[in-house]
Amino acid sequence: MERIYIFDTTLRDGEQAPGASLNVKGKLEIARQLEKLNVDIIEAGFPIASPGDFEAVNLIAKKLKKPVICALARSLKKDIDAARDALKPAKKPRIHVFLATSKIHMQYKLRKAEDEVLKQAVEAVKYAKRFADDVEFSPEDATRTERNFLFKILAEVIEAGATVVNIPDTVGYTVPDEFSDLIKAIKENVPNIDKAIVSAHCHDDLGLSCANSLAAIKAGARQVECTINGIGERAGSAPLEEIVMAIKTRQDFFNFYTRIKTQELYKTSRLVSHLMGIDVQPNKAIVGDNAFRHESGIHQDGVLKMPRTYEIMKPEDVGFKESKIVLGKHSGRHAFVKKLEELGIKLTKNEVDKAFEEFKKLADKKKEIFDEDIIAIVEEEVKVIPQVWELVYVHTIAGSHTVPTATVKLRKEGKIYEDAACGDGPIDACYNTIDRIVKINPKLLNYNLKAITSGRDALGEVTVRLKHKNTEVVGRGTSTDIIEASAKAYINAINKLLYSK
């Protein structure tokens, strides 16, 4: 199999996404993770753009020794000088020069004729070659460039010393068949093309960046330029994780390989998302939170019997710990029973039937059922917990410059108990009051509040986890009043603690 070189431009093209600016420290942190990911080339930045970008490229060039470190430059001496200076510490430097070649760009942006553009491109490559053996040239907007001119400029820059010629679909305009044909035409019509690596750099304006990149590889490109999470200008760039896993998963079709350590993909994705402040969509291929989650009962049954029925990749191959069976209203009995086993809950067939029925009722109200919900269903509906304490009344006072106070009435064996206490907030005050009444002081391990219906009068559900001595229990309460729901959940857990004794 032939090797495909992975050129990561997260720190250059990716950072150009609106709102994705990084400081020098953040760039270095991502660069180090890209090195762990084992990318071949890291485009560290655009040194002429700002002092910060220059500093980041220089620092990355100094700290990283394994990958090629690349710096971008326009076809201008001052840009190339800045790239040269920033890359001085690099063990493997590459200068990447670019110049627009489409008619629309030459006419309206550069205001230059073809012969002027050709001359400038050749001079830029020759100048860059004085400072780096590895020089890449990109004819910007290549997919909208007149083909004969594109062939000519590529041949001339290769003759001038370019070791890589990149074919950018700058505005995400092309489609796979068209791009494949363009790469083949370049291979056939540029006489010295064998002296350079052909690269592809695709944007996602039509959602085709990954497909176009893979088409380019099949047609003869041996380097792909991409970014983590597909981050980049406008709609983004070709996503590294999708390209790499497509090649790996479908080696029978592509017959290529990369040197990417795919187990680092998820970690890298989350680091970039965190530092750039741009969330990864849940249904994102390969690294999205839902990529290996299953809710449909049919899918869950298949995955539990044989993962490959619905998973074409192993989750651990991209950095996930495992597949996840998500319990919801579409889940089936098989997944429910499996969850009971995972939680160590043993029930008779009749008890399973009853618990599953209650689970389905709850699933109609909630989008996702958690472990605490399953435990609560079993404890409340199947193994009935005696209601030693029952909430009668709760009243709280809270606000700015006011000490939060709660008054609570509880019923036990027909007798009413009432007390009041203060706390850090109304719920804390409520729990302190309940502790005074029941004479138990458990540790609150977890408190969770969520709406299980919609609207301003939504039904709120509170789930608490309490620990007393060596016993842990989960309590649940619902109400349109979150204070009341919180009190109900706490008392529910108290009753379970008493039952467990």
Q: What is the pLDDT of residues 78-100, one digit of tens each?
A: 999 999 999 999 999 999 999 99
Assess if residue 322 is contained within a domain.
Answer: yes
Give a yes or no: residue 378 inside a domain. Answer: no
- Rounded Cα distance between 104 and 359, Å, is 61
pTM (2 d.p.): 0.77
Contacts of 484 (CB under 8 A, 6+ apart): 391, 394, 477
Radius of gyration (C-alpha) of the chain in whole angstroms: 31
| Interval 287-326: pLDDT, tens | 998 888 887 878 888 888 888 898 899 999 999 887 777 7
How many domains is the chain built from? 3
On whether both 414 and 356 belong to a single domain, the answer is: no
Q: Residues 21-40: pLDDT tens digits?
A: 789 999 999 999 999 999 99
The chain-wide mean pLDDT, for the chain, equals 92
Instruction: Assign 454 a pLDDT band (cuts: 50, 70, 90).
Output: low
Classify 384 in phi/psi space as left (phi over 0), alpha (psi -120 to 50) or beta. Answer: beta
pLDDT of 410 strictly over 90: yes
Amino acid 384: pLDDT: 61
344 in the same domain as 256: no
- Extract the tokens encoding 340: 């009971």
Are 200 and 301 in the same domain? no
Residues 345 and 463 in one domain: no
Q: Which pLDDT does position 380 carry in this prediction?
A: 63
Q: Look at residue 377 and tell me if it is in a domain.
A: no
How far apart are alpha carbons 338 and 340 in whole angstroms? 5
In this structure, the answer to whether residues 270 and 303 fall within a common structural domain is no
Q: Are residues 219 and 123 in the same domain?
A: yes
> Regarding predicted confidence, which is higher, 84 or 453?
84
Neighbours of 46 (CB within 10 A): 25
For 93, the token pair is 């430097």
> Among the three residues 276, 306, 335, which one is the final residue of a domain in this structure?
276
Question: The CATH number of the domain where 488 resides is what?
Answer: 3.30.160.270
Judge whether 198 lies within some domain. yes
pLDDT at 382: 66
Residue 380 lies in a domain: no
Tokens of 400: 């700015």
Residues 458, 314, single domain; the answer is no
Where in the sequence is the domain holding 484, given as residue range(s)? Answer: 390-500
In a shared domain, residues 243 and 105: yes
Question: Are residues 270 and 133 both part of a single domain?
Answer: yes
Q: Give the residue-averaged pLDDT of 145-159.
A: 98
Phi, psi (degrees; rounded to nearest 5) at 333 = -65, -40
Instruction: Name 455's Cβ contacts closer than 8 Å, sequence gap at least 6.
Output: none
Residue 478 has pLDDT above 90, yes or no: no
The predicted pLDDT at position 453 comes to 66
**452 and 362 assigned to the same domain:** no
Above pLDDT 70, what percent of the chain? 98
Pair (328, 219) in one structural domain: no
Are 120 and 17 in the same domain? Answer: yes
